[in-house]
A and B are shown apart, each in its own frame.
Chain A
Amino acid sequence: MACSFGRFGYFSAFDSAIRIVRGAMFFEYFPQVCTQCVDAFCARACPTGAFQRKGNIVDYNKLRCILCRQCLLACPWGFIYPDIDLQYMIKCDLCGGDPECVRVCFNDAIEYVEVADVSNTKYRGNVARAKGERK
Chain B
Amino acid sequence: MPPWIERQRHLMDYTLAAMARRWGRNLGLVAVYTLLVFVLASVMMFTDAIQREAGQLLEQAPEVVVQRMVAGRHDLISADYMDAIAAIRGARQVRGRLWGYHFDPVTAANYTFMVPAANAPPAGRVHIGAGLARARGAAVGDVLSFRGHDGALFSFDIEGLLRAESEIITADAILLSEEDFRAFFGIRPGLFTDISLQVRNPREVTKVAEKIVERFPDTRPILRSEMQRTYASLFDWRQGLVLTVFAGALLAFAILAWDKAAGLSAEERREIGILKAVGWETTDIIAMKTWEGALVSLTAFLLGVLLAYGHVFGTSAVMFEPVLKGWATLYPRFVLTPHVDLFQLAVLAFLTVVPYTAATVVPNWKTAVTDPDAVMR
Physical interaction between A and B: no
- Using a CB–CB distance below 8 Å, which chain A residues touch chain B? none
